[in-house]
Structure 1
Amino acid sequence: MGGEIINKNTDYVVLFDSKDVIDTVKLDGNNRFSYKIENLNPGFYTFRHGGEIQMVLLEPGDSIMFRLNTFDFDESLVYTGKGAKKNNYLINDFLQNEIEEKRVFKFCQLTPESFEHQINAIRTKKNRKLKHFQEKNKPSALFNKIAQANIDYSYFSSKEIYPFVHYGRNKKKIIEALPDDFYDYRKTIDYNDDFFKDYFNYHAFLRHSFNNIALESHLKHADKARFSWTDCCYNMDRLEAIDSLVSNTEIKNQLLYHYSMSFLSKNKKIEFNDKIIKSFLEKSTDKKKNDLIVSYSKSVNKLKPGEHFPDVRVLNLQNDVVAINTLFKKPTVVYFWSHLYKDYFENSHKRVNELMIKYPEIEFISVNIDDYSTERWASTVKKKKFALQNEYLFEKPQQSVEQLAIYPLTKVIMVNNKSKIVNGHANMFAHGFEEELLGLLNQ
């Protein structure tokens, strides 16, 4: 396989099989590479450039080339050569799922019966499209297995998110209103599918499913029918559900890590962190992930209200290194972005532009977290019509991301004019954020 990368982020591409790095391949002067995989086993392979990743289905005899632009990674990806048709089908299906997800969110406001009718229609249309592709191209049994799983797991995920996206706050009432057979497909689900364990649709389904399974369990003993993602009891139920249904250690460890990190990043009651960490460590067998959780929790504890903002160095657009603490001359909001999440870059900057007009007494500082060249970062921000005087880049990205516990990327840190943290886990798009800004001004 090989490819051409336009607007490269680094000088190389990393190739993986399902578990390990196969090789790191350097781009030539035309930003192209070519690589032959010896003794190829049919299945998924992953290529990574910068922080972006995508999967490709390879079978013996394939000779695939791809072309992409990092400014629009997935959307610009096109395959050519032998084996290209099946991969173009899969990438187009991936992009179509992203579009349909927004429609499904709207459908979640319907009654369960109407919701089922709408998502059944989507599933039928996808099955018809797949059948047409199969009749025309005669793909392998392996492709057929993957393409059908894409359709099925997307459908199952839609059902699993229904109680959460539905506008009703009484989740117990919503679940009780579901038809008795609404989740009958769970009887056929393999929660330990080693073949699909690294595949996006399967992994997304598992996350949605365990959110929902834990909710059903939680509501049986919860004091109230209203639900909160940061409820410690609910999160403990979720870890227990994973432990009871998943025996594949790789799948289990990944799910346990994901949910524990998610809780630690959102929880504002530090005393509950130890309970989650204890439960996680009792169930996880991945030492690296265990160490990361413990390290992350220590970083989170240093971001408590009243603590000084950690000593972190950033670069400005003049390429000067400055201590971020020296920038806090007045109440300040520090937010973060990455080239990997283009929509969030756009949306966060637009949101800040609005807030700057409404709250001129507050400083807003934007920090890019990527480990790319300073030229790539500077080029991105200069192309946008945003105020550039407060755009910065971490001098040591990985170290700073860990130090500030930046997970998820939507995390915002609010600081008073004495460099003390007021909220280390805010979200500028959350309900009540502007009330928090008013509180910051009154510090």
Structure 2
Amino acid sequence: MFALGGLVIACQEDSSTTSASAYLGGEIINPKDRTVYITTTDARAIDTLTLDDRNRFLYKFDSLVPGLYSFRLSAADGLEHQIVLVEPNDSIMLRLNTLEFDESLVYTGKGAKKNNYLINLFLESEQDDKKVLGFSQLSPKAFEAHVDSMKALKLKALKKFSSENTVSKRFINLIETNINYDYYLSKEVYPFVNYSSSERNIIKSLPESFYAYRTDIDYSIQNVRDYFPYYPFLKHHFENLALTEHFKTSNDSILNRKCLGYNLTRLKLIDSLVKNDDMKNQLLINTAIEFISDNKNVKDYDSLLVSFKAKSTDRYHTDYLNNIVASLKVLKPGNKLPKLYVYDIDNNTHTLNQLVKNKPTVMYFWRQSYLRHYQDSHKKIEELKVKYPEINFVALNINETSSQAWKDHLKQYKYPTKSEYLFVDPKKAKQDLAIYPINKVILLDNQGKIINAQTNMFSLHFEKQLLEALNQ
């Protein structure tokens, strides 16, 4: 789930603490646990609350800093969150059903109207994404006409709402910013989702004014990494800029995300344009991890790592990337897996290599907080088991929680437990096996030697890899 867009620094009239207070509370239908987290929008904790016997909570903001906050709780798809605009003297009550998190969310009380507007805009934007994908198959001018119209309708609706209700400049700026960056995002993704031609030809065909808004971009608005659409906009914007630069010095006609030169250009542009260190560092690490996840050529990793280290000021990110690169160098085809231990459902301990059992083996990963991936991956594996009975499929849980919580989760969703295992040391396992993203899969031969340490069961080529493993 994406958090709703909005930019605290740009949208606040005054970010200083006030003497006023405010309240945020509500009722949770079908709670998955008793805990509600109140945080800033960049996930810094403010307080942890416990639902009462009526599944309700209430939090008082003393000496309020007006702006956006987030409430987080366990829902059908794991830990979910949504944002709320809190201003002096608000008393905002929410009601939501965890089975339909965003769709069921409604507010009452003082401050409710503006927040119902925010959630409705968020839901509308999700629907608009599908429309934009359809429009993206049109010519640049026709596409631009459609997204211009969508933007104008949203601004008109905001003007009408503002004339009928008492709202702050903070709220108006917040919605305008959301609308603008959602519009910018649509323009930036156009070359990547138009399927009629190569990206080079699409970019060449764009009207000169297509990206005129780029002169208005603020690259360093603080505390917005988790907001939609600002961060997704920046991601696609730098992809777009880098591809345009890459085409100037290469004969490529299509986007190749595995290309080292293209990704080095992305890092360079982020470093030169983004001045806020937190935002820059997040864009840099995400770009680096994305490249490493896509590119299986270990020789390219060192060049990317050198560029990354010269630009990032985040020591944790640097150490993290160093560790992933070092791990992936060990996980080369032909090598065996590092010696890591797991528990089975009966609390017996095994090494990973003992799980191979003289069969080609697929090892896949999951965690409780990514419920949708857990369900999708297990469903896919059940289908593959039927088609490829000669292959051994092993599920590995990477949660750093108790073994009982793992067992309870398996029992709740009624999947077979015979091939389910829990890492004894999940933190070490995540580092040694470079488990990022969560949907990565490791494919081994019948002797436990690595065939591919970074494949994906949802890839179009995955079943071909299985067949090749069987024929070795």
TM above 0.5: yes
Q: CA deviation at 1:292?
A: 1.6
**Which residue of the partner structure matches residue 408 of structure 1?**
437
Partner of 1:363: 392
Question: How do 1:116-265 and structure 2 match up within 5 A?
Answer: 116-168=144-196, 170-194=198-222, 196=224, 198-265=226-293
The correspondence of residues 372-391 of structure 1 with structure 2, limited to 5 A, is: 377-378=406-407, 381-382=410-411, 384=413, 387-391=416-420
- Given candidates 275, 278, 281, the residue that maps to 2:306 is 278
Matched, 1:423 2:456: no
Cα contact 1:25–1:33 (8 A) shared by 2: no
- Is 1:17 the equivalent of 2:40? yes
CA distance in 2, matches of 1:297, 1:437: 26
Calculate the aligned-residue CA RMSD, in Å.
Answer: 2.8
Q: Secondary structure at the match of 1:361?
A: coil
- C-alpha deviation, 1:414, in angstroms: 0.9
**Aligned counterparts, 1:86-101, within 5 A:** 86-101=114-129
Residue matched to 1:351: 380
SS in 2 for 1:36: strand
Quote the Cα distance in structure 2 between the aligned partners of 1:142 and 1:321.
56
TM-superposed deviation, 1:71: 4.9
SS in 2 for 1:228: coil
Assess, with a 3 A threshold, how the Cα gap between structure 1 residues 343 and 179 changes in structure 2: closer, same or farther: farther
* CA distance in structure 2 between the partners assigned to 1:156 and 1:439 by the alignment: 44
Which amino acid counterpart does residue 331 of structure 1 have in structure 2? P
Q: CA deviation at 1:334?
A: 1.8
2:20 matched to which residue of 1? none
Letter matched to residue 43 of structure 1: G
- How many angstroms does 1:75 deviate by? 4.0
Shift of 1:10: 5.9
Q: Summarize deviations over 1:352-394 as a string: whole Å, max 9, x none.
A: 3332222221122233444456566555555557555334444
Of 84, 91, 97, 1:56 maps to 84
The one-letter amino acid of 1:178's match is L
State the shift of 1:215 in Å: 0.7
Matched residue, 1:306? 334
| 2:115 maps to amino acid | N
1:34 aligns with 2:68: no
2:89 alignment partner AA = G
C-alpha distance in structure 2 between counterparts of 1:364 and 1:75, whole Å: 36
8 Å CA contact 2:220–2:274 kept in 1: the answer is: yes
1-structure distance, mates of 2:179, 2:409: 36
Whether the 8 Å contact between 2:41 and 2:224 is mirrored in structure 1 is: no
Contact 2:40 2:46 in 1 (8 A): no
Q: Does the 8 Å contact 2:42/2:224 carry over to 1?
A: no
Q: 1:238 to 1:357 in 2, by over 3 A?
A: same
Match of 2:462 among 425, 433, 442: 433
Judge conservation of contact 1:369–1:394 (CA < 8 Å) in 2: yes
- Give the distance between the partners of 2:182 and 2:63, measured in 1 at CA: 32
- Counterpart amino acid of residue 25 in structure 1: T
- Asked whether the equivalents of residues 338 and 345 of structure 1 are also in contact (C-alpha less than 8 Å), the reply is yes
Q: Secondary structure at the match of 1:120?
A: helix
Task: Report the AA paired with residue 390 of structure 2.
Answer: E
Q: How far off its partner does 1:194 sit?
A: 2.7
Please give the alpha-carbon distance, in whole angstroms, between the structure 1 residues aligned to 2:210 and 2:57: 48
Distance in 1 between the 2:317 and 2:254 partners? 32
Cα distance, 1:305–1:189 mapped onto 2, change above 3 Å: same
Which stretch has the larger CA shift, 161-170 or 224-233? 161-170
* Separation in 2, partners of 1:371, 1:85: 40
User: In the TM superposition, what is the alpha-carbon distance from 1:254 to its structure 2 partner?
Assistant: 1.1
The answer on whether the counterparts of 1:10 and 1:372 sit within 8 Å (CA) in structure 2 is no
1:126 partner SS: helix
What is the distance in 1 between the residues matched to 2:464 and 2:365?
21
Worse-matched range after superposition: 371-380 or 197-206: 371-380
Deviation at 1:171, TM superposition (A): 1.6
| Letter in structure 2 aligned against 1:83 | G
TM-score, structure 1 normalization: 0.89
Letter of the structure 2 residue corresponding to residue 344 of structure 1: H
Is the aligned partner of 1:46 residue 2:74? no
TM-score under structure 2 length normalisation = 0.84
| Length, aligned pairs only | 443
Amino acid aligned to 1:416: D
Amino acid at match of 1:205: F
- For 2:191 and 2:142, how far apart are their aligned partners in 1? 14
Change (3 A) 1:32 1:396: farther
Larger relative contact order (C-alpha < 8 A, sep ≥ 6)? Answer: 2
Structure 2 distance, partners of 1:385, 1:255, is: 39
Q: Which moved more, 1:276-285 or 1:32-41?
A: 32-41
Distance 1:243 1:174 in 2: 27
Name the CA shift for 1:70/1:207 in 2 (closer, same or farther; >3 Å): same
Query: Is contact 2:36-2:51 (8 Å) kept?
Result: no
For the residue of structure 1 that corresponds to 2:389, the secondary structure is: coil
Q: Does 1:335 align with 2:364?
A: yes
Cα shift at 1:23 = 3.4
CA distance in 2, matches of 1:93, 1:378: 40
> Separation in 2 of the partners of 1:187 and 1:82?
38
Unpaired runs of at least 5, structure 1: none
Distance 1:343 1:70 in 2: 14
Q: Is the contact made by 2:42 and 2:223 (CA closer than 8 Å) also made in structure 1?
A: no
Whichever residue aligns with residue 202 of structure 2, its letter is I
Deviation larger for 35-44 or 212-221:
35-44
SS in 1 for 2:229: helix
Q: Which moved more, 1:36-45 or 1:213-222?
A: 36-45
**Pairs within 5 Å for 1:62-101:** 62-101=90-129
Q: Does 1:102 align with 2:112?
A: no
CA contact (8 A) 1:331 1:362 kept: yes
